[in-house]
Amino acid sequence: MINYSLYTGECIFADWDDFNPEYEEITTSDGITLLVERIDAQQVRVSRVISSDPAVYLRDDIMPGTIIKTSLQI
């Protein structure tokens, strides 16, 4: 990877070793499997959509990066 920046690589990539998110696999009420990252007890961020149906990937409500409120309590 080429980094065209005024800053050194050590400055830009300093915290990359510490980033270690924990993912969970959940299934929606529609039967769609999502790989999510938990934000807090009631919210998750969609990281990946797992489906063999191409129409599922066009849905705005479950696209990666979307924050979803869950009814699961941890």
Per-residue pLDDT of 18-42, as tens digits, reads: 778 889 999 988 899 999 999 988 8
**pLDDT score of 74 more than 50:** no
Enclosing domain of residue 64: 21-69
Domain count, the chain: 1
CA distance 63 to 13: 27
Task: Let me know if residue 27 belongs to a domain.
Answer: yes
Task: Let me know if residue 46 belongs to a domain.
Answer: yes
φ, ψ (nearest 5 deg) of residue 30: -85, -5
pTM over 0.85: no
Residue 60: strand, helix, or coil: helix
Q: Closest by alpha carbon to 73, among 44, 35, 52?
A: 44
Per-residue pLDDT of 11-22, as tens digits, reads: 888 877 777 888
Task: Let me know if residue 8 belongs to a domain.
Answer: no
Mean pLDDT of 44-62: 94
